Amino acid sequence: MPMNNDVQQKSQNVVYEVEGILYEGFWSQVDDDAPLILLVHAWGGLTEYEKTRASMLSELGYNVFALDLFGQGVRPTELEDKRQHMQVLYRNRDKLRLLMEAGKKTAGELGGHLDNMVLMGYCFGGAAVLESARAGMQARGFASFHGALATPDDQDYSLTTAPILIFHGCEDTIVPMSDVEQLTQQLESHHVPHEIITYGGAPHAFTVFDTENYHPDADEQSWHRFIDFLAERTQ
C-alpha cells in the first residue's frame, strides 16, 4: 500500500479482558478497509515507543492494533522486572498463545480485517510473533525486529501459514548468530518462505530511538524493507 499523506488517523487506548484480567492495547485506525497490522511490544510492555511505531504505520495507510501481553498498567522499567514478566510467558507458552489470539480477536472487534493482517514485533514481541507463526495463526506475514529466535524443543514450523521476515543485528549479544542459523534450518526443513536480513555493527534493539543501542542505518533499512513486505503481502 503506498504512502497516503492525506490519511486521517484516529487512535485510542483499548481495554480488553482475558481470563478475568484487564489488558490495555492501542488502536490506530485510518480507514475501515485498510490492511491490519498486529504489533507486539518488547519486554518493557506497551510503551510510547510501540505507539509511535503504530502511528507511523497508520500514516502509511494501515490500521494497527498494538496488543498488551502483560496487563493493564504493567509497564516494567527495571531490568529484573522486565525479565520476570517476559519469563512468565516464556515458561507458559499456552498463555502466550492465548494472549496473542486475544489481541487478534480484539483487533477484529475494533474493525480490523483479520483476513488481511500481518504480525510484527520488537524484541520479546518478535519472539511472540514467531510463537504465533508456529501455532498456525492465520496471517499474511510475520515479521520480527531484533527478536528472540530460538524454537522450543517441542515446537516447529509445520503449521506456519505465511512468509516470515527476520531483521537481526550481527552485534546482538543477547540473540547469537547461531540462533539465526538454527532458525534458517528449521524454516527450510518445513519449506516456510522466509527472508532473514542481518545488519553489520547493529546491536540488540537497534530500532529503539534515543537509546545507546539505536543504529540509524539498520533502523532505516529494516523499516523500508518492512514497508515493502507489507505492500507485497497485503491487499
Print pLDDT tens along the chain (235 aa): 334 445 678 999 999 999 999 999 999 999 889 999 999 999 999 999 999 999 999 999 999 999 999 999 999 999 999 999 999 999 999 999 999 999 999 999 999 999 999 999 999 999 999 999 999 999 999 999 999 999 999 999 999 999 999 999 999 999 999 999 999 999 999 999 999 999 999 999 999 999 999 999 999 999 999 999 999 999 9
Q: Is there a contact between 232 and 140 (Cβ–Cβ < 8 Å)? A: no
Q: Who's near 45: CB < 8 A, 6+ residues apart?
A: 68, 69, 70, 74, 75, 76, 85
- Exposed/middle/buried for 96, CB within 10 Å: 0-12, 13-18, 19+? buried
Inside any domain, residue 17: yes
Grid cell for residue 101: 489470539
Inside any domain, residue 4: no
Give the predicted TM-score (pTM) of the model. 0.95
Domain that holds residue 120: 10-233
- CATH number of the domain that 52 lies in? 3.40.50.1820
Inside any domain, residue 185: yes
Inside any domain, residue 2: no
Look at the chain and report how many structural domains it folds into: 1
Inside any domain, residue 158: yes
Inside any domain, residue 112: yes
- Amino acid occupying residue 13: N
